[in-house]
Structure 1
Amino acid sequence: MNLEKQTPIDKQNPPIWLKVLVIFLVGLGIFFRFSHLGQKAIWYDEAFTSLAISGHTVAEVQQEVLNEGIIPVAALDKYQHLNPDRGVNDTVRYLITSDPQHPPLYYTVVRLWAQVFGDSAAGVRSLSAVISLLIFPSVYWLCLELFESTVVGWVAIALMAVSPMQIFLAQDARQYGLWMVTILVCSAALLRTLRRETFLNWAIYALALTVGLYTHLFTALVAMAHGIYVASQQRFRFNKTLANYLLATTVGLFIFLAWIFVFITHISTAKQLTSHLSLYKLDNPFDLIAILLAQITRIFFDINFSSYTPLVNKSFWEIEHIYYSVIAGIFSLILILYILYFIVKERLNRFSLFLILLGAIPSICLLLPDMILGGTRSTIFRYQLPLYVSLQIAVAYVLGVYIFSQKHWQQKIWQCLMVGFLLAGLVSDVIFFKADTWWLQIGNQYPLATAKYINKFENTLLLSSNQISNIGSLLILNHLLNSKINLLIVQDDHLPLFPKEASNIFLFDSDMTNSQNLLTRFKKDKTYSLRLIDEPLTELWQVEKKS
């Protein structure tokens, strides 16, 4: 029997209690999005956001710090703040030469935003917080297009309001919050256009797709899911609708052509920056699926367990909280299987296929290369946003149907489940509110521990190489270290002469992928002795000259 005859969710008006609850949760969600914006330490990716808006390129930083010899750590400040002599065009130049896999839309906007609201951590992150508010109308619109149900739209807003994933994206100075909005808007625009084909609607879809592409390259995977859906609805026959879709997509790609050219021209730089994602192979490729399942739970419940930590000379993933990860994976598997069972059992309409394709196609395109060729791209949490948004909307639909079930006992059970989802999100948000760093801020615990240790000493010299991974780590340390600490940046093949006044010399080298890194050269040299600092989460060696 068709679900719509049993439970006409599209005709159900949201009751007052649901509207009051959702408005209350949205208020809490806004509070968590804007509170303590500057509390968490700048992490690796955010340090490069600040470098982008400063207008300096990575090559400039590498060369300048190499040529200047011993410098105070405060000398790195100019690479983390606005430079009045450099503008938006210099931010775009940074992206072209140093980070071509990131399209320029978010970074040009955040550069202009920082001119008005400041370039502090809170000032830069506030743009993401404002963008995150667009999630609410965007997900509501998509739910209306999918299910013609205001109830599902209200439930989806409630889930989005307290989702720990959404709170993190709202306080992260990167483009992923904006990408989430473009996924929702682009999808809703396509469904509206298929329902009512007009030139204006196709133009809106083409524009939304273009904005998505200029936000993140993986929007191309979303467009692929859209294309498969449109073709399936036309029974894979070429007709006017399919022709209009291809034309609109072509227009979007044509407008994006300029950055495609930039990316292809500088693809070697992009490969260098993302080489670590293909460096490791798991012993069992199906471990990737286990990791993905464990991470899915975090869109609803996340208490900051750092489940997977990349280690050197050990297995790539060390499970610190094994029980949490196993339970989370089982929960995610049950959730996905139940949603699929629900779709098959109730014979839902064609829009269920849209959600499945939107979540599955981008995820599979990331997962299969990792399973076949090796790599960990599919485990990067922020790359899986299309899958996560699809699951959140699917959960909102199931909850929206059953909390108004005609069976009283069923209604009460699902209302309790909805309360459980919302409470899980709120507990996660409170933990996020109190935290100094979050597990998604990859590797941030190491600079925090390193800075805490180094700041204890006087007459300190911190030594490192000018490899890009070290430059990123030093830009983080710039925000954490005592201003009296000095830096000496050298090339990997050059062992420096140390000043006599430096009584405490430490080597920091996070470039473990290079067999000829600075640490290796020091170990081979008989002039110096190295002592690994036996402190949790530090990446430091103390350097002493042998007598």
Structure 2
Amino acid sequence: MDKPQLLTKSHPPTWLKILVITLIGLGIFFRFTHLGQKVYWYDEIATSLAISGHTLAEVKQEVFSNLGNNQGVIPAITLDKYQHINPDRFVVDTVRYLITSDPQHPPLYYVIVRLWAQVFGDFPTGVRSLSAAISLLVFPSVYWLCLELFESALVGWVGMAVMGVSPLQIFFAQDAREYGLWMVTILVSSAALLRAIRRENFWSWAVYALALVLGFYTHLLTGMVAIAHGIYIVISQQFRFNKTLRNYLLSSIAACLIFLPWLIVIITQIHTATNLLSWITFKTDSPFDLIGIWLSRISRIFVDFNLASDDAWVNNLPSESPLSYSIPTIIGSLFLIIYIIIFLSDRLSTNIRLFIFLLGGFPGLTLLLYDLIFGGIRSIYFRYQLPLYLSIQIAVIYILAFHLFLEKKWQKNVFQIIAVGLLLSGLVSDVRFFQAETWWPQIGGKNLLAMSQLINQSNSIVLVSSKNDYNLGVILTLSHNLKPKIGLLTIQNDQLPIIPKDYSPIFFIDDLENSLAHQLQKDKTNSLKLVYPLEGFWQLDKSRKT
């Protein structure tokens, strides 16, 4: 263990500090530029709806009531009010929306973004700028965790460099959701736990409890991080009930008690939450496909060129097998995981490697095993695996620091090339992100953009169905890119309204299994085609087939 001790005593050289500051500067540039360029996708629409102060039930009642009473076509801009702050609604109304319409999302981020939007604007650029600002907290957070975990400022500087250009960090810095804040709470709570173990005083454990509370009120999967922390405490204390274990239990119980009000909300609204999360129960044909995608997405932590074939497969779209597409990334991810396990087992103390393995391995593998046993695709959604991805980043950060500053000359030269390649790959990924209009985790984002462009090209009308909440969400998403003149016409209980003759073509959102599409398919006087299967986006041309 003498080499890690040497690393602990090493001070960051001036050239490293200059490099890190440069990379952080580039990272800040990529985080804050083109905030409004990418499509404002389905999940971000939910954020805007939350800060508007309207509930989903209010939107449905008011929108469809107005459309129905109008007995005619109304402009798409009618929906705009549900994507902007209502001056007559307040923060409490944002919380009310979450309670009644989206209870699986705790309120911390949404309360903050509501207050932020009142100052910086409620358009996509203003709302996303909060995520960009929060992402800056990753730098001191990862530095603190590296100090507590490795007792090395040098590793902390390397950590800030890697986080500065990580495509994982850049994406969530421009996503108007809570996941950037969740990453900060994971890093901070982990560092606070290690500090509390080291100091063993009231205030250190109070800071850990507070960090857990912030995590709980940011994302429910913080519970898995807290369990991983608990397993680490139990094992590292050799299964003895001592002062450290007692303090951990007291801090965790205090955090859970403070989170109890929202836990009651989740329990009382479990039916709503279950319905909203029904999409994660999609079952794969083969467990090898699930494992293949799970592995291939690990590579996107460091290198991401916006290739999304596996995402198309997950959403049941025609595409080649994810395994044939992702074999290089699967092999690369497997090699990385195996190397991390071997290297950390050889170079680090039992407690340090145990902490890293549990932080990412417990949440990541639990989700994967649950999907393999009971079915579902929870484990391959990028945002749910953030504890795993952060732990892999931490491991890679230490490995780079170790080889760059402590190894023999030839090994140091090899890892200098690897480090340069890793950072350049991250920068190339960031440039591609900078130029893109959509990014692969924005499910259906490219299609939604193409759909709005198709609608805007002609004197068309969009049918709005009151039967499916998802359909309403898609229409709200489209409304951000539709021209004000585009018309909307309601469909009540799959009963087609009288469609004005001067509108053609006609577009609508409908599931393949629903009756509306079947009704129209039976009408031989019109041409009906499914343009985008994932969204159930149909085009109806009012002309006799030839």
Do the structures match in fold with TM over 0.5? Answer: yes
Structure 1 segments unaligned to the other structure (5+ residues): none
**Segment drifting more, 21-30 vs 235-244:** 235-244
- What is the aligned partner in structure 1 of residue 518 from structure 2? 520
Give 3-state SS (helix, strand or coil) of 1:375's partner: coil
Q: CA offset at residue 359 of structure 1?
A: 0.3
Residue of structure 2 in register with 1:50 after alignment: 48
**Residue 337 of structure 1: aligned partner:** 338
Q: Distance in 1 between matches of 2:461 and 2:440?
A: 30
CA distance in 1, matches of 2:114, 2:407: 53
Partner of 1:84: helix, strand, or coil?
A: coil
Change (3 A) 1:265 1:454: same
2 CA distance for matches of 1:265 and 1:173?
27
Which residue of structure 1 aligns with residue 279 of structure 2? 276
Give the match's secondary structure for 2:31: helix
1:39-188 counterparts in 2 under 5 A? 39-69=37-67, 70-188=73-191
| Cα separation, 2, equivalents of 1:9 and 1:421 | 21
2:358 maps to 1:357 = yes
Name the SS of the counterpart of 1:204 in structure 2. Answer: helix
Give SS of 1:318's match. Answer: coil
Paired with 1:246 and 1:541, the residues of 2 have a C-alpha distance of 58
Counterpart of 1:342, as a letter, is: F
Per-residue displacement from partner, 1:306-363 (whole Å, max 9, x unpaired)? 1324469x95683488666221111111001001010223353411100100001111
Query: CA separation in 2, counterparts of 1:356 and 1:187?
Result: 13
Change (3 A) 1:535 1:356: closer
Does the aligned pair in 2 maintain the 1:308–1:317 contact within 8 Å? no
Query: How far has the Cα of 1:541 moved from its partner?
Result: 2.0
* 2:481 counterpart residue number: 480
Match of 1:371 in 2: 372
- Once the 2 structures are TM-superposed, how far is the Cα of residue 380 of structure 1 from its aligned partner? 0.4
2:10 is matched with: 12
Deviation track 1:78-121 (CA, whole Å, cap 9, x = no partner) reads 01111101111111111001100000000010000000000111
SS in 2 for 1:506: strand
Counterpart of 1:348 in structure 2 is 349
Instruction: Mark the CA change 1:535 to 1:520 in structure 2 (over 3 Å): closer, same or farther.
Output: closer
Return closer, same or farther for 1:288/1:416 CA change in 2, 3 Å cut-off.
Answer: same
Answering whether residue 449 of structure 2 is matched by residue 448 of structure 1, we say yes
Aligned to 2:54, what secondary structure does the other structure show?
A: coil
Q: Secondary structure at the match of 1:350?
A: helix
Residue identity in the other structure for 1:71: I
Higher normalized helix content (fraction of residues): 2
1:10 shift after superposition: 0.6
SS of the residue corresponding to residue 215 of structure 1 reads: coil
Aligned positions of 1:224-263 closer than 5 A: 224-263=227-266
Determine the structure 2 residue equivalent to 1:205.
Answer: 208
C-alpha separation in 2, matches of 1:205 and 1:528: 67
Q: CA RMSD in A?
A: 2.1
Q: Take 1:35 and 1:220, find their aligned partners in 2: how far apart are those partners?
A: 34
Are the structure 2 counterparts of residues 7 and 254 from structure 1 closer, same or farther at C-alpha, using a change threshold of 3 Å?
closer
Aligned counterparts of 1:323 and 1:423: Cα–Cα separation in 2? 26
After superposition, the C-alpha distances for 1:408-440 in whole angstroms (9 at most, x for unaligned) are 111111111111110010000000001111111
Query: Compared with structure 1, are the counterparts of its residues 470 and 273 closer, same or farther at alpha carbon in structure 2 (3 Å cutoff)?
Result: same
> How many Å apart are 1:301 and its aligned residue?
0.4
- State the match for 1:461 in structure 2: 461
Cα distance in 1 for partners of 2:34, 2:523 equals 49
How far is the alpha carbon of 1:533 from its aligned partner? 5.8
1:296 aligns with 2:298: yes
Give the corresponding residue for 1:392.
393
Residue 542 of structure 1 is matched in structure 2 by 540
SS in 1 for 2:526: strand
Deviation of residue 456 (structure 1)?
Answer: 1.4
- Whether the 8 Å CA contact 2:404–2:412 is kept in 1: the answer is yes
Q: How much has 1:484 moved relative to structure 2? A: 0.7
CA contact (8 A) 1:222 1:362 kept: yes
Aligned residues of 1:363 and 1:378 also touching (Cα < 8 A):
yes
- SS of the aligned residue for 2:540 comes to strand
Change (3 A) 1:166 1:189: same
How far, CA to CA, are the matches of 1:388 and 1:131 in structure 2? Answer: 18
Cα distance in 2 for partners of 1:340, 1:269 equals 41
Q: Is the 8 A contact 2:195 2:204 kept in 1?
A: yes
Q: Please name the residue that 1:412 is paired with.
A: 413
Summarize the Cα distance change of 1:387–1:531 in structure 2 as closer, same or farther, 3 Å threshold.
same
TM-score (norm. length: structure 2): 0.94
Deviation at 1:534, TM superposition (A): 5.7
Q: How far, CA to CA, are the matches of 1:517 and 1:236 in structure 2?
A: 59
Q: In the TM superposition, what is the alpha-carbon distance from 1:537 to its structure 2 partner?
A: 8.6
Structure-1 separation of matches of 2:492 and 2:233? 53
**Which of 21, 40, 45 is equivalent to 1:23?**
21
Shift of 1:521: 3.9
One-letter amino acid of the structure 2 residue matched with residue 374 of structure 1? G
Deviation at 1:61, TM superposition (A): 1.5
C-alpha displacement of 1:492: 4.1
The alignment covers a number of residue pairs equal to: 538
Question: Structure 1 vs Structure 2: percent identity of aligned residues?
Answer: 56
CA distance in 2, matches of 1:417, 1:19: 19
Shift of residue 286, structure 1, vs aligned partner: 2.9
Q: Is the 8 A contact 1:103 1:215 kept in 2?
A: yes
Separation (CA, whole Å) in 2 of partners of 1:23 and 1:230: 35
Change (3 A) 1:92 1:30: same
C-alpha distance in 2 between matches for 1:283 and 1:183: 33
Q: Work out the CA distance in 1 between the residues paired with 2:403 and 2:152.
A: 14
Residue 451 of structure 2 is aligned to residue 429 of structure 1: no
Question: For the structure 1 residues 85 and 400, does the alpha-carbon distance in structure 2 shift closer, same or farther, using more than 3 Å as the test?
Answer: same
Q: Is the 8 A contact 1:114 1:123 kept in 2?
A: yes
Preserved CA contact (<8 Å) 1:7 1:401: no
Q: 1: distance between equivalents of 2:109 and 2:525?
A: 46
Matched, 1:489 2:490: yes
Q: Which moved more, 1:335-344 or 1:301-310?
A: 301-310
**Retained in 2: the 8 A contact 1:286–1:371?**
no
Q: How does 1:295-314 map to 2 (within 5 A)?
A: 295-310=297-312
The runs of 5 or more residues in structure 2 that have no matched partner are 68-72
Opposite residue 500 of structure 1, the aligned amino acid is K
Structure 1 distance, partners of 2:423, 2:152, is 20
Supply the distance in 1 between the matched residues of 2:106 and 2:533 (Cα, whole angstroms). 37
Return the alpha-carbon distance in structure 1 between the equivalents of residues 27 and 445 of structure 2. Answer: 25
Q: Retained in 2: the 8 A contact 1:464–1:518?
A: no
SS at 2:494's partner residue? coil
Q: Distance in 2 between matches of 1:536 and 1:495?
A: 21
Matches of 1:225 and 1:273 in 2, distance apart? Answer: 27
